[in-house]
Amino acid sequence: MKAEDKPKYLSELKTLFSSLDKEKLLGDPDNEQETQRLNRISAILRNFSSDIGEEIERRKTDFQKWCRAGKRQEHSKNVLNDLLQYIHTKIEEMDVYKIEPDKTYESDNGKLFDLKTSVWPLGDFYYLNFIKRFYKGKNGKVSKIKIAIIVTIAVVLGAITYGAVKNRPHFDYEMLGKVYEARDNNVPTVIDGWFTSKIRNISEERRYLEYIHYILWRDQSLGRSWIYGYGVGDVYEVNGGERRLVELPILFEPNEVKTLALDVDIPISDKEPYLALTEREGEGVFTWPKNEINILLEDSRGNIFDESGKLLSQEVTDTWWVLPNNKNFKSKIIADTDLYSKIVVWKIRRFLHILN
């Protein structure tokens, strides 16, 4: 509702309300003239506030239901009185409520434009009075609890942002090839894996590649894995046709690129990850593995990221492994809450890392 339209609507409301005939409504809840007046009152107040209009409709329907039943006349009368008192209260509230007039500005071509409709973010705040409504309760006083919540959220997000910026990974990773096969056709067995990758330090400073891990995802979006190995076997630096055995950590000069070959032994003792590795997609001779073992890189600051450069959380992955240890209902609820709070923090840090 616009400020300039309020006086005429308010005048119409008061006229309609004063002309309502309570006895006619009690005698016939579907009286056409009285129902039209109630509908018009509801429409105007809905334009002022959708919640008020919906509440009037609910109360009117409730009154009509009881009155049509005709068994409890006194209750029907009380319901109608409540409806009329509610309408009267909302009309008075609308009367004293101050609606700020629309602000218009003159553009370069001399035409006026409305700030609310021209700049939608400002329009949303203008219409909703967001800050005012959030910080103040019905009594108009500032809510200390809400301020404390906002401050807490700001501090947490600030800390997460600072950590993501300060400790963001500094390596760009490109997988050149991977080959792995099982020594036996059943568990327990060992997977012999060979991985070749090109790694570049994307920082302007010297950086260390601290550790290299391997993983078989169970649900990558939630950080859950079938297999997670903390470290690999032999690491070779490849230079043309030459291979040189190197030890971790590996120093990278600014913007330096190294090609590394990894020789990995992956023990498998459970049947589920073994079946996940043997599962294939496609038809006939054109098939490929549905699930693959991936390589993870960890820098000297403890950041771990996958082959696509996305930041991971070892804490989340580890928490998934210990989750089944919680047996009773209370411990399961606490463990689930802890796990998913860590997932939320991890997702925020990864999003900030992508922005950086």
Mapping DSSP onto H, E and C, the string for the chain reads CCHHHHHHHHHHHHHHHHHCCHHHHHHCCCCHHHHHHHHHHHHHHHHHCHHHHHHHHHHHHHHHHHHHHCCCHHHHHHHHHHHHHHHHHHHHHHHHCCCCCCCEEECCCCCEEEHHHHCHHHHHHHHHCHHHHHHECCCCCECHHHHHHHHHHHHHHHHHHHHHHHCCCCEEEEEEEEEEEECCCCCCEEEEEEEEEEEEECCCCCEEEEEEEEEEEEEHHHCEEEEEECCCCEEEEEECCEEEEECCCEEECCCCEEEEEEEEEEEECCHHHHHHHHCEEEECCEEEECCCEEEEEEECCCCEECCCCCEECHHHHHHHHHHHHCCCHHHHHHHHHHHHHHHHHHHHHHHHHHHC
CA 287, 289, 292: angle at the middle one, nearest 5? 160
d(CA 257, CA 173): 10
Domain ranges of the chain: 3-96, 104-165, 171-312
Say what angle helices 73-96 and 50-69 make with each other, to 10 degrees. Answer: 160
Number of Cβ within a 10 Å radius of residue 305: 21
**Nearest Cα to Cα of residue 224 among 316, 97, 290:** 316
Domain 171-312 CATH class label? mainly beta
d(CA 262, CA 295): 9
Instruction: Report the pLDDT value the prediction gives residue 273, as an integer from 0 to 100.
Output: 87
Check: CB of residue 299 under 8 Å from CB of residue 212.
Answer: no
Instruction: Report the pLDDT value the prediction gives residue 354, as an integer from 0 to 100.
Output: 63
Instruction: Report the pLDDT value the prediction gives residue 143, as an integer from 0 to 100.
Output: 62
Instruction: Report the pLDDT value the prediction gives residue 257, as an integer from 0 to 100.
Output: 92
Specify which residues 299 forms β-bridges with: 209
Check: CB of residue 219 under 8 Å from CB of residue 256.
Answer: no
Instruction: Report the pLDDT value the prediction gives residue 153, as an integer from 0 to 100.
Output: 82
Query: pLDDT 10s digit of each residue in the chain, 356 long?
Result: 677 788 888 888 888 888 888 888 888 888 888 888 888 888 888 888 878 888 888 888 888 888 887 767 788 888 888 888 888 888 888 888 777 665 544 444 444 444 444 444 444 444 445 455 555 555 555 566 766 777 788 777 776 666 555 545 567 778 888 888 888 888 888 888 888 989 888 777 888 888 888 888 888 888 888 888 876 778 999 988 888 999 888 999 988 999 999 888 888 888 888 888 888 888 876 788 888 888 888 887 778 878 777 778 888 888 888 888 877 888 888 888 888 998 998 888 777 766 65
Check: CB of residue 300 under 8 Å from CB of residue 208.
Answer: yes
Instruction: Report the pLDDT value the prediction gives residue 167, as an integer from 0 to 100.
Output: 47
**Nearest Cα to Cα of residue 8 among 99, 123, 84:** 99
Check: CB of residue 250 under 8 Å from CB of residue 273.
Answer: no
**Nearest Cα to Cα of residue 293 among 347, 206, 226, 199:** 226
Return all residues near 165 (Cβ < 8 A) that are at least 6 apart.
352, 356
pTM: 0.48
d(CA 320, CA 223): 8
Check: CB of residue 62 under 8 Å from CB of residue 29.
Answer: no
Instruction: Report the pLDDT value the prediction gives residue 258, as an integer from 0 to 100.
Output: 93
